[in-house]
Copies of this chain bind each other. A is one copy, B any other.
Amino acid sequence: MKPRSEHPDTERVDLADIAPELLPYLGQAAYLQLEAFQGLAGVVRAVPGLDAKEELSAAAGLTLGKFQGLVAEIRRHDAQPAEVMRPFTASIDRLQQLTTGSDWQETLLGVHVTTGLLDDFFIRLAAGLPKDVGPRAAQLLGSDAGSESIGRILAAELAADPALGSRLAMWGRRLVGDTLLVARSALHDTGNESSDQQRVEPVFTDVIAAHTRRMDALGLTA
């Protein structure tokens, strides 16, 4: 344990103290990217504009690249990606169902919100991975996956339809709790669950603050 600061609320939590098990970390992170890829590809079909189709397909491709990078990492550790991802499919499939909205705008915001929160969280969690993997995983998850395009497309929709804002704001709020539940489940394998859950609270605060800024950027109340 590191010495605690005198002022805990100004302390930047050091997640290096929490060591997630490597393969479950990679398996969950990978399947999340695969799910995000599918979500984006589904929106490519649903969105009417050809420019938006091109931009969103590029975002889907970048997300697929993250998945493939994580899968390569799993193979580098002599494990089978399918085996390593399997324990996480049920909870992530459930999240995907919750994230799928009644129209493509909701679904796209769903991918934007959940991917934003979870990538942020997994990047921080990477600090506790072995030194030969952690930085690479963090860099991979932090790499661009078209969130700027997604934001721009959503902003254009919001500008064109004044009624959409309150609906999307509510939709975004609905998804935060379930997304954080999936994030929390990443700690189940650290073998030190309850103290880790406590220690990780400030990280959740940070991750939610970043989410609020993303929603703000769209003019939506988080």
Q: Smallest distance from the beta carbon of A47 to chain B beta carbons, Å?
A: 11
Q: A50-B81, A50-B86 are in contact. Are A64 and B61 (CB under 8 A)?
A: yes
Is A41 positioned at the interface, with any CB of B under 8 Å from its CB? yes
Known: A57-B67, A61-B64. A82 touches B50 (CB 8 A): yes
**13 additional A-B residue pairs with CB within 8 Å, beyond A37-B41, A38-B41, A41-B60:** A34-B53, A34-B54, A37-B44, A38-B44, A38-B45, A42-B42, A49-B82, A50-B81, A54-B81, A57-B64, A57-B67, A61-B68, A64-B64
Residue A149 CB within 8 A of the other chain? no
Contacts of A29 in B (CB 8 A): none
User: How far apart are the CA atoms of A207 and B108 in the complex, in Å?
Assistant: 39
A143 → chain B closest CB, angstroms = 15
The verdict on A51 contacting chain B, using a C-beta distance below 8 Å, is: yes
Shortest distance from the beta carbon of A136 to any chain B beta carbon, whole Å: 20
| CA A54 to CA B69, docked complex, whole Å | 12
**Is A71 part of the contact surface with B, judged by Cβ < 8 Å?**
yes
CB distance A54 to B82 under 8 Å? yes
Nearest CB to that of A39 among chain B residues? B45
